[in-house]
Amino acid sequence: MRIVVYGATGHTGQFVVAELRRRGHDPVVAGRDAAKLSTMYDELTSRPAATDDPQALDRALEGADAVINTAGPFALTAGPLVEAALRARIPYVDVAAEIEANVSTLTEYAGRAREAGTIVLPAMAFFGGLGDLLVTLAMGDRTAADEAHIAYGLSNWHPTPGTRTAGQVSHDRRDGRRVRFTNGVLEYHDDPATQEDWEFPPPLGRRTVIKGFTMADVVTVPSHLQIPEVGTSMAVEAAQDLADANTPAPTASDLDGRSDQTFVVDVVVRANGAEHRASATGRDIYAVSAPLAVEAVERILDGRTRTVGAVTAGALFDPADFLQALEPFLSVTTSAQLTPTRR
């Protein structure tokens, strides 16, 4: 499979390229900086292209089977890359965590992708994609529930420069307001954040989280499931790291380039008075986005999908089978019925 990685010199992009090569693929690396591409990947085919140059993007995708976009801010890059992928009639996958960018991708390209018989898959990463798969797994055969909540227990969060830039773009797009998904719609508001205790599964245990620390799951989950209330929360320690401008970028602590950050993603679905949970534990939120995106591309290209169009992970894949394939990177547990998690 000939897969183009746009944004290959970025932090997550490097993990994606490495994962493709680990699986035996020969990726094409693309991005805006020709010198950096050739320096970092002198043994791979590199195709520099700016997102405001459609002809260069067409050349970058020439002969490709799919493209993975890892270059943020996705508010600026997703549209041009999706357009190029549609012209090339190949699948598009990105790792966007930006709420508004994901909304735009799903709404603006739903019809065109479906008519072309191809797939546009945004948010196929730790934020957005993983939570969507876990919620869909917890739902079982149900397509509707009363509420879903995704709690993120990160040991720390050393954001990349790209994360900070994308976060600022999102902040500016919503004029500093907060966002939530309630009563079946996205709402923007100025309500102050609140805290609560969340009982994470081992090894994390009880942690204080910021309620309403809203991530891309509020876009991906309700795009295909009838859940009027979808919320996310974040461990206080991680949120404080992200808010601190002096928190350094992640540094490698092993030979694969992963940081020492660990995470637990805990999903609770409430339906008809019962709670259903699915949880995933692993290491390094940026590194784990690579196998999520690459597994998605492989399944798209070999036909292990449920539909076409602009869709999210939970609608496109069998969640149990997909998550099982990521066992080297994630440990997933489920429980059919639980006692309440909030205290």
- Ordered structural domains, the chain, with CATH: 130-284+328-335 (3.30.360)
Q: What is the pLDDT of residue 314?
A: 98
pLDDT tens for 284-343 read: 999 999 999 999 999 999 999 999 999 999 999 999 999 999 999 999 999 843 333 443
Q: Are 123 and 151 in contact (CB under 8 A)?
A: no
pLDDT tens for 228-242 read: 999 999 999 999 999
Mean pLDDT of the chain: 95
Spans of the chain below 50 pLDDT: 336-343
Residues facing 6 on adjacent strands:
30, 69
